[in-house]
Chain A
Amino acid sequence: MALRVGLTKLRLLVACLLIGLAMAGCQAQFVADYDEIFDRAVTDTQKKTDAFLQKLAEPRSPLRVFARAKDSYDDILNDIHSLKIRAEANNSGGLNAETLIQIEKTAATIRELRALHANDARDVTDRLVVLTQQTVDVQFSSMLKFENLKRRGEAKKKQ
């Protein structure tokens, strides 16, 4: 009996809350809106990273000497930093928190390769570069996929 009364009160409370939210014209938003500029910037950074790693994967690539590759690493990390700035600008209320994690983890992968290369270029083998490329491809693709899901969310909200 007490449980039934409790459930009825709970249902009324939830209904009142929902009616209040609906009357206030509220729309829930837990994730930032799709950002076309960010989407394009991720694609550009992915292409630049891919081009660099493909050159680095060539067995006699001059880029195997760290001093010759340093500018490319810095350029890519600089682009990723710009992605972070863009995502932070859309992080009101923490709506872009996961995208910021994705950016930071992608930067961490490039920094890992850079540090390995700077420490001893002999560690940067053909196979290592191929596996690095596979890994970083998944990271960029995950960022792009997620940004695309934000766009699909927008389309649904407008319906």
Chain B
Amino acid sequence: MASIDFDKLFKNILVVAESTAEEGWPAIRDFAKGDLEKLARTAVEIAEGRINGTITENGAKALLKMNQNAVETVLAGAACVTKLVAERVINAVLGVVKDAIKAATGFAL
């Protein structure tokens, strides 16, 4: 039975973790950016509507609360994208470990 080379294993883990996370970060950015831009534009339109009288004071207050709700909705999704990335990285790392154990022992886990 061969031994496991920890240095090699750690190197492989770092390579997999880094490459997987790099694939994930643009996903987080892409998930939230477009929606947050839309909501920022809506916030400007609320202010314009109040100035030109197409939205009442109570209406503007309600819209701002709705806008806040929407920002929280998008951010909750973005937070979860981070979790999905972490999940993917850990599972990729566990895959590297399983491969190393298989190579050393001949047993597939």
Contacts and interface: CB of A to CB of B under 8 A. Distances in A.
Interface of A: 11-12, 15, 18-19, 21-23, 25-31, 98-99, 101-102, 105-106, 108-109, 112-113, 115-116, 119-120, 122-128, 131-132, 134-136, 138-139, 141-143, 145-146, 149-150, 153, 156-157
A102 B73 contact: yes
B51 to A, nearest CB: 12
A142 B90 CA distance: 25
Contacts of B9: 15
Contacts of B90: 28
A149 B27 contact: yes
B31 A146 contact: yes
Contact of B80 (A15, A26, A99): A99
A108 B97 contact: no
B29 interface: no
Interface residues on B, range: 35 or more
Contacts of B91: 27-28, 157
Given A125-B56, A131-B63, A156-B88, A138 B94 contact: no
Interface string B2-34: 001010011001000000000000010001000
A6 to B, nearest CB: 15
Nearest to B37: A138
Interface of B: 4, 6, 9-10, 13, 27, 31, 35, 38-39, 42, 45-46, 49, 54-56, 58-59, 62-63, 65-67, 69-70, 72-74, 76-77, 79-81, 83-84, 86-88, 90-91, 93-94, 97-98, 101, 109
Which 9 residue pairs across A and B have the least CB separation, nearest first?
A: A127-B54, A28-B90, A30-B83, A98-B80, A101-B76, A146-B77, A22-B97, A105-B69, A98-B76
State the majority secondary structure of interface residues on A: helix
Nearest to B62: A116
A142 B81 CA distance: 11
Given A101-B73, A109-B70, A138-B74, A123 B59 contact: yes
Contact of B39 (A11, A18, A101, A135): A135
